Chain A
Amino acid sequence: MASTALAVGAALLCAAGPAPVLDAAPPPPATANTTGLTIASVGTATLTVPGGGSAPYSATSSSTVTGKLPATVVTDVRPLGGAWTVTVSANAFKHGANPAVTVPASAAKLYLAGATVAAVRTTLLGLGSVGATVNTATLQSANVHLGTPYTLLSGTTGMLGGTVIYEPTMVVVVPAATPAGTYTAVVTQTVS
């Protein structure tokens, strides 16, 4: 009910003002089968500790946990094939039993090794350029972490469309004196 009332209110507001409306051409039917940018992730993320088991608790030294994020497929079939970038960030790792206990997202980093990025041309003609570039200089910087959004990779697929597949590696440096337990975090990646 509340949402209906809100919608009505908004409609009235729009109707009352003489403000201009910059409306683009009417949309073609929904059956048009071209899509723009597409993203898909296949599989699940895994985080492991060297030697297996949990990250060892230490009051004095940090420990490193590494993992793989699912392989992600970006397909660009926009007619003019402009630029796209994948921005990544994460929220803090929250303790399962006590969400107030966290490992900050700044302790984690996602990166792509050269071999984990593959570009595929989806059309038969194979003309033009399809590519994705990983900004390794940025990724090696200590200031780059999942606490603030950063560019994981950028791509351009040219006029004929194409697909880029990548498989990010995650590294978490668990700070010293982090309480034992299972931690949960969500990584957000946006292709745009």
Chain B
Amino acid sequence: MRRPIRRSSLLALLAGLVASMAVAAVGTPTPDLPIGLGLRLVDVPVERAADPRANDYIVDHAIPGATVRRAMAVSNGTDAELPVKLLGVRATAEDEWLVDDGTTPPGPDELAAWITVEPSELLLAPQSVAIVEVTIVVPAGATDGERYAAVVAEPPVVPAGEGLGLISRVGIRTYLSVGTGGEPASDFEIDTLTAARDADGVPVIAVGVTNTGGRAIDVSGELTLVSEDGLLTAGPFPTVLPSTLGPGNRGAVDVRLRADIAAGPWLVTATLHSGLLERVAQATVTFPDAAGEVADPVIAQRIEAQRRLLIPTAMLLILLALAALWYLRSLTRGNGQDPPETASYADGDAIPVDGDDVGATG
């Protein structure tokens, strides 16, 4: 190498040394960040891009021995430097989504143990965003089944020291299916509709859902109500909150209606979805009279989603086509064969004009 060493390279070397000794805050300065510590999934696999769940959470299927990679953006929306740890923690998805606090280390067959984040610790500069890489290495001997974990960003305890401290973490849910075959299908059934009134007398419908597929689901959707005579409709009313259900689990999503909805009976159509999957079911329910009362669950009948739209649309189109055909036929018949029929129009002034037109063309 040539001498003397150029000053700039020496400076760079020094800077590198300093950086390795004292941790320098990292991150790209970013305006308008929401307050606090933030985490976001940056990339979505192309084949899952249309699935809303895959945009919010890590949702994937991998064979044993495979590696799953994702990038995440960690944001510091505070005005101070923020030390952040990044790690995988245990989570469960039976009849709800629950995240462990991380005091119990995950076992070797648990998804949380397979997750590493690079870097695993960083000091985020104020009002800035840094990209981190999440790697999930599925062990070659991993048994089949879906596993759950959360990739969390963890700030220090506030306040440090004595008394009651609080750690406020933000995490990205991870739903990883492991198996040598194809990805297990997701499916669910709407079993029952249960009408009730809450403590304030507001009508509520609990939609009973069973996860009949091989993967966890996050169900939400809406209800529409039609009175028995078909004259009154109400809704759509959205589900209060999405519900997470693991395979084989049963749960309910609640829908709050308006206080002025009549007791019924109502034909209720429930349309629920999880990701790209949609299920529609109907049942006739009647709301109980008293606040706090719950009616018996009514078994819901599944409706094929396409039929619900396609049949009425097709019928309407056929009717329109028939009407148009009949109208055209009556017009041509009126022009060509039976001119006096136009005289039967009530408006006397219009007839001569029509007559002139007919005369001009004929």
**Chain A contact residues, CB within 8 Å of chain B:** 14, 17, 19-28, 30-41, 44-47, 67, 69-70, 72-73, 75, 77-80, 82-83, 85, 87, 89-91, 96, 122, 129, 131, 133, 149-151, 154-156, 163, 170, 182, 184-192
Contacts and interface: CB of A to CB of B under 8 A. Distances in A.
Task: Find the residue from A34, A36, A90, A170 having the highest chain B CB count within 10 A.
Answer: A36
A190 B170 contact: yes
A44 B66 contact: no
B241 A133 contact: yes
A89 B92 CA distance: 14
B298 interface: no
A156 B241 contact: yes
Contacts, number: 237
Nearest to A186: B165
Nearest to A70: B166
A30 B40 CA distance: 11
Contacts of A28: 42
A164 B166 CA distance: 18
B43 A27 contact: yes
Contact of B240 (A22, A131, A192): A131
Contacts of A46: 164
A78 B44 contact: no
A89 B37 CA distance: 19
B165 to A, nearest CB: 4
Given A38-B37, A40-B78, A91-B103, A192 B152 contact: yes
Contact of A23 (B32, B69, B73, B171): B69
B163 interface: yes
A22 B164 contact: no
Nearest to B37: A39
A174 B90 CA distance: 29
Interface residues on B, range: 35 or more
Given A35-B34, A40-B168, A192-B171, A78 B152 contact: no
Closest 9 CB pairs of A and B: A40-B36, A36-B40, A192-B171, A83-B242, A38-B38, A75-B34, A27-B71, A35-B38, A24-B43
Interface stretch (B5-13, B53-61, B281-289, B341-349): B53-61
B210 interface: no
B129 interface: yes
10 contacts: A22-B60, A33-B32, A35-B33, A35-B75, A37-B170, A78-B56, A83-B242, A182-B163, A190-B152, A190-B170
Nearest to A159: B52
B331 to A, nearest CB: 46
Given A22-B66, A24-B69, A192-B171, A38 B34 contact: yes
B306 to A, nearest CB: 24
Given A32-B73, A41-B166, A78 B241 contact: no
B65 A36 contact: no
A78 B40 contact: yes
Given A31-B30, A85-B96, A192-B97, A185 B242 contact: no
A150 B98 contact: yes
Contacts of B299: none
Contacts of B172: 36, 192
Contacts of A41: 36, 158, 166, 168
B33 A47 contact: no
Interface string B177-190: 00000000000000
B131 A27 contact: yes
B159 interface: yes
Contact of A36 (B38, B45, B220): B38
Contacts of B53: 82
Interface string B160-176: 01111111111111000
Interface string B195-236: 000000000000000000000001010000000000000000
A33 B97 CA distance: 28
B86 to A, nearest CB: 13
Interface in B64-79: 65-71, 73, 75, 77-78
Contacts of A39: 36-38, 168-170
Contacts of A72: 168
B163 A47 contact: yes
A36 B56 contact: yes
A22 B166 contact: no
